[in-house]
Structure formats: structure tokens, C-alpha cells
Chains A and B, each alone.
Chain A
Amino acid sequence: MSKFHISRRGLLKGSAVAGIGLAAPTIFTSKAWASFTNEPKGDSVTLGFNVPQSGVYADEGADQLRALRLAVEHLNGEGDSGMMSTFSSKALKGNGILGKKVEFVTGDTQTKTDAARASARSMIEKDGAVMITGGSSSGPAVAVQALCQEAGVIFMAGLTHANDTTGKDRRRNGFRHFFNSYMSGAALAPVLKNAYGADRNAYYLTADYNWGYTTEQAISEATEGVGWTTVNKVLTPLGAGDFSSYIAPVLQSGADVLVLVHYGGDMVNSLTNAVQFGLRDAQANGKNFEIVVPLYSRLMAKGAGANVKGIFGSTNWHWSLPDEGSKAFTRSFGTKYGVPPSQAAHTVYCQALLYADAVERSGSFNPCGVVEALEDFEFDGLGNGKTLYRAEDHQCFKDVLVVKGKENPDNEFDLLEIVENTPVDQVTYPHDHPQFAGGALGACNAGS
């Protein structure tokens, strides 16, 4: 005999419980509750600054951190507002981002891919960072960009110059303000031809990672385009310290130009070695031997001292530029820290402002809205003249500076002189150019 008995009241109770049980999972996961990763809930928003604080690019990292602190001050309405006053978009009001006070956490990339990923992951998962910026190397940049894509946060790349960042490794959630290897080659080649002639034999010493490969390819293809010959290409380990055994054979190779595809501490060491071995005083093929450094920065020029005089290279930005944006940024940074900002500092400052501005314009921290606001965004007043964030590859297109180590500096920061401001048309390329082929942005990811 069955004891099973259903009352009307019992049935109602049971179905109510079952209904809540069935509905609950969709309530907790629906977009109404948490539409994207690390949505800021309180009255503040956290940004993650992932910069090299040790390793061969530590100088660049330290300067980026200074600039990012300054950007946070300006966004929160403290200080003299820097480039916010010259920025063509007027969405930022100096009251944080969307009224939320900007806070930040920092991580040390150690100039290593795995360490950079680990510190970015920790800032996203533990500290709730809604955007990651900073970094001074393309290896970590590509790795962290992929991580941010998976996690559903925005990556505003720092100093990364390899074509890959907006080429084969481009991602929908990642954006690059800095210029790239291709642009360096396109800007440098005509200047080098004018200065050293069309009949030159170049020898490449190249840092053994993605930035080295794409820069070597970009510079050699561009200079071969103006008539130069490539004699040899040699890869050197990152952080080799002493480059003498790579430098010594150069003079015997038949080359009359040495291209040092090194950056940061490596470039300081390799250039110093090259000068010690007398390359700058040497004659080869009846011409003066010359050295070229494709990617130049003032911090490197300072480390290498008098060795940089007369050496050509390219740079994203320089503090002595005469436009209002550059003047405002240099004044603001110089007053606070007593030194002018480097190109590494400038690019991350711009990225922080561009991100904040995109959030204001889209009205939400949702990464997909930020992506939409940044794609094909045209702006001015951030030190590089008219600039476009191209939608197809998330690369900024702007004028490129060709610089030269200054012969007679006025002060200890006056190390580079601007030789040419190459107009943007000359460095623009189709987004499917062979040097950038094989990548796709994919869809934007808002995360949870």
C-alpha cells in the first residue's frame, strides 16, 4: 500500500522550489549580473601596469611606471592635466573614468615572456584589473596580448615594435600605439640612402626573438629596395653582455655598414663594443664604416654616452618636438621627475589616456564597447600629430621620426636630433602586407 500522497499545498511548494532551482543558474550567469571580466563595482576602477622592473629593459620599465603614475594623476584630476588638455577628444573630465577613481597595480615582466604572463594573470585574477598596459619588449607583449584576449580584458600594448604584435599575433582585445619594424624600415631607408649612398653592404647583428626577426626583415627589405646588399645576418642571445665575439668578425666580412638590431641594455653593450673595436674610425670598401640602430631611445643614448654621436635610427617620439602636446607632456613629466620623458614613457601615457577616453565615449568598461570606440578612431594632440587607430589590425598610423645622435648636446638630455619627420603616408601599408600576414583579430572577448 502506497503512503505517497500529494496535497495541493505540497505541490505548490515543490514546484516553487523546483522553479527557483531551475532558474537560478541562468540568473547568476546572465549578462544582467556580470556582463564582462572584472566589471568595476565600487567607486574605483583598477588598471594593471605590467612593466619590466628588472632585466635588460628595466630602464624603459622604470620610465613607463613614472609616466603611468602621472597619467593616473591626470585622469583623477590632480596635477596640471598634461596632454589631457591638448588631446583632441574632450570626453575626459578629470574625475576618473566614468566618475570612478582610477587606481592601479603593478607587475614585473622581468623582460621575460613567462614572467610577464604570470604577473598579468595575477593582476587580472587577483587584483581585478580591467585593462593591462605597459611593457618594453615584443616577446612579452604578444604573450600578454593573447592572455588578455582569453581573459576578456583590454590590452593597451606598451613599447613593442615587432610587426607581429599587430601582424600575425594581432588580437581583437589588443591595441598598439607604438610604431613598428616596417615603419622604421620605410622611414629609415631613404634617409640612409641620402646619407651613405645606394651602394652599401650591410651586416646585421640581431636580438634572437620576435622583435629582432621582424626588424631585421623590415630593415633589410627596405634598404635592399634602395640598392643596398645584405652581407650577413647573425642572431645574438638576449642579454649577451659582451658582444665582442660577434663584433670582431664584422670588418673582415666585406661589410661597410653594421645594423645593430638590439634595444635597451643590449644595444648599449653592443654599440660600446663596436666603438671599442674601432668600427667607427674604420674604412671599408673605400668608404667610412657606418653603424645604424633601427630603434633608438634617449635612455639608450644616455647609457651609450658619446658612442651614439652621428648614428642614425628611428624613434616613436622625442621630448624636443615642438607641438603643444609634446610640450605639455614634457613640462608635466619634467616638473614632477626632473628628467624629460622617454618614448617608452610617452607611448604608455598615450595608451592610458586613449583607453580612458574610449571608455568614456562608449559609456561602459565593457571591453567590446572599448574596442568599438577605438577602432578607426582619429585623434590629435598626443605628440605625434594626426593619428588613426586602424580597425583592421589595431595599429596606430602616424608620422615617424628619423633621428641621429647629436654631435654637440646642449645638456645631458639633449642626445638625439630629429633628422626627418617622415609623413604617415610614406609608412602606411596594407593590413595584409606580407610582413604582417597570417594573423586575424578574431572576435572581441568580454570574458565572464
Chain B
Amino acid sequence: MDAIILQILNGLDKGSAYALIALGLTLIFGTLGVVNFAHGALFMIGAFCAVTLNRLLSLSHEVVDETRTDFLGNPLRVDVPYVYEWFGPDVGATIIDWSVPLAILFAIPIMVLIGLAMERGLIKHFYKRPHADQILVTFGLAIVLQEIIKAFYGANPIPTPAPEAFVGSFDFGALIGFDPQTIMYPYWRLVYFSFAILIIGAVFAFLRYTTFGMVVRAGMADRETVGLLGINIDRRFTIMFAIAACVAGLAGVMYTPILSPNYNMGMNFLVLSFVVVVVGGMGSLPGAVAAGFLLGILESFASRAEVIDIIPGINQVIIYLVAIIVLLTRPRGLLGRKGVMEE
């Protein structure tokens, strides 16, 4: 029993990331009808927003400390960040320590701008083109974005730790009556899961309870009629694209302490997120979220040693196996609506 709870918990953080990316993907597909293969790159750029802010805050100048020596026996050169001098060492250290949560504020305007530029600058020219063209151009864009990041930040993963306060893990097992130390869960993963739920809730509430959201939903259902009513639906859809970019970016920002970001991280998540969208049902928002968590948890179960002993390699193919089964038995996906992608 404790093993089952542990694997469920463990699948939640990865599932959260899948759900957040898939949510944006299906939002863009539902509104603009575009299959956006550059969405993983947006997740990656979000992660690099956190790296960039961390570097900006850590900008420093060299001070020679005569009392200490470096490995060659010369006087030690110490890098002192500017924030230490402006706010004092204690506050300065805290600011750098909290760079990942602070990067949320930093990333929102950047991701919105990138989203707007992507949609207005490139993707809008492909609305009337076949899906194959859209896939090719967005895939190409993803490669360009990756290579730009690689040129600036190199190919290696860049460790970006969570604030000191969230290091370590709490004893979830003891909390619900199991033996202590049987179910341990790192604090930051709990933060990530809560953050994902918050963002998903906010997107759903925005679409459900605001006039803007109502118009967008109406446009998703029948774009032509909404247009005939004199509403500029294109502009609203552009804003939805920016929101979707922002959701992917924030998912990336908060994921950096779990997985040190490298330029290629977006591609790994993109492929899985597409499977999530397909399993959940193209164009279905609740489907994307549910399938995200479901596949995250399944992947976690498949990585258990007992499971791998029975079926070697299952941990790396389980998600695709599920996708095949779902597509064979329920081609529309778990929560897919009739008529989507079937014209």
C-alpha cells in the first residue's frame, strides 16, 4: 500500500509538467487549429528564464582576499555579487536563494512577448495551410530556438537549486499513519504540484467565469458565428496563444530545481505532451489535464524494479503503449469530443 501511494505521489510532479504543457497545446489547437510543435521549446525557454534571472542576480565583481589562498597558493580571488553590496550579505544571499520563485514574475512578461511575437510573426501565416505545413514550420522554429539557447548557455545542464527552505523532504507516510520514513516526498515537488493545480485552476476559471473566456469558448465551438456577431475573435485567440505560452513557460521555470535545464529538455517533454493530448482527446482541456497526471503516474509505476523485472524496458515504452491502446479502442481519446480532427 505504501508503495502504491509513493508511486502516485512520485508521478504527480512529472504529471503536473505534462498536464501544464498539454493544456497549452490543446488550448492552441482548440482556438487556432494549429498543432504547435514549438510548445516544448516554450517550456525550455521558461526554464532558461529562471537560469537567466539567477545569473543576473549573481552578477559579481572580483575581490582579492589576501588572507586565503587558492589551489595554486596565490591570493584567493572571491566573486562578490553586487546584490550583496546593495542589500547587505544576508538579504543579498536570500534574494539569490529565492531566484527560482522570483523568476515567475520575470518570466511572465517575457513569455507573453515571445508568445505574441510567435503568433503574429510566424504562425498566423499558416492558419489556412495544411496541418503538415504547420507541424513543419513550428518544428523548425523549435530547433531554431533550441540552437539559440545552446549558443548562449552551452550544451550542459545548469543546476538551478530551489530556495534553501524547500530543500529536503517531508515524511508523508508518518502523516497518514504509516511507519516513518516509508513515504518521503521532497518539498519542492509538493510546491510544483500545488503550483500546477493553481495554474490549471486559474486557466479554467478564466475561461469559465469571465466574459473574455466565454467569448473564447464560443469561438472554439463556432468561430464563424462569433465572428458574424461582430466580435474580433482573432485578437482574442492571439491573447490565448500568449497565455498558453505563459503557462508552458511557468511550468518550465518551476521545474528547474527538479531537472537542471539544458537546451534539449523541451523536446523530451514535447513528444510526451503530444501523447498526453492525443490520449486525453484533441481539443479537450480536462482531457489534457487528466491524461497528463494519469500518464505521469503510470510512468512512475512502470519504473519500479518489480515491474521492470517482469517486463524489461517497460519504463521507457509504457506511455506509448497506453497511447496505442487508447487510440485503438477510443480513437477520439479519453475525453475527446465528436467532430474534432475528424473533418
Contact = CB atoms under 8 A, between A and B. Distances in A.
Tell me the interface secondary structure of chain B in the complex. Answer: mixed
B14 A413 contact: no
Give the size category of B's interface with A. Answer: 35 or more
Contacts of A249: 3, 6-7, 304-305
A276 B170 CA distance: 10
A334 to B, nearest CB: 5
Q: How many residues of A sit at the interface, in one of the four size bands?
A: 35 or more
Interface in B156-199: 156-157, 159, 161, 167-169, 171, 181-182, 184-186, 188-189
B259 A241 contact: yes
A58 B155 contact: yes
B208 interface: no
Contacts of B13: 244
B316 interface: yes
A248 B6 contact: yes
B71 A277 contact: no
B165 to A, nearest CB: 14
B170 to A, nearest CB: 8
Nearest to A320: B71
A334 B185 CA distance: 42
Nearest to B70: A411
Contact of A335 (B72, B304, B308, B316): B72
Given A246-B303, A305-B159, A334 B169 contact: no
Given A248-B6, A249-B3, A319-B71, A283 B159 contact: no
B52 interface: no
Given A245-B10, A411-B70, A252 B305 contact: no
A59 to B, nearest CB: 6
B259 A251 contact: no
B120 interface: no
Given A242-B258, A249-B305, A58 B3 contact: no
A413 B169 CA distance: 28
A411 B71 CA distance: 8
Contact of A334 (B68, B72, B157, B168): B72
A256 to B, nearest CB: 12
B184 A234 contact: no
B71 A340 contact: yes
Interface string B69-80: 011100010000
B77 to A, nearest CB: 9
A278 B10 CA distance: 14
Contact of B181 (A265, A268, A283, A330): A283
Given A283-B181, A330-B72, A245 B155 contact: no
Contact of B182 (A252, A281, A330): A252
A55 B262 CA distance: 10
A423 interface: no
B71 to A, nearest CB: 5
Given A55-B155, A248-B7, A278-B186, 14 more contacts: A58-B156, A241-B259, A244-B186, A245-B299, A245-B303, A249-B7, A265-B260, A269-B260, A276-B167, A282-B181, A305-B159, A330-B71, A331-B72, A411-B70
27 contacts: A58-B156, A59-B156, A234-B305, A237-B316, A241-B268, A242-B14, A242-B259, A244-B186, A244-B189, A245-B14, A245-B300, A246-B303, A248-B184, A252-B3, A268-B260, A269-B259, A276-B186, A277-B184, A277-B185, A278-B184, A278-B186, A303-B159, A330-B71, A340-B71, A410-B68, A413-B70, A414-B71
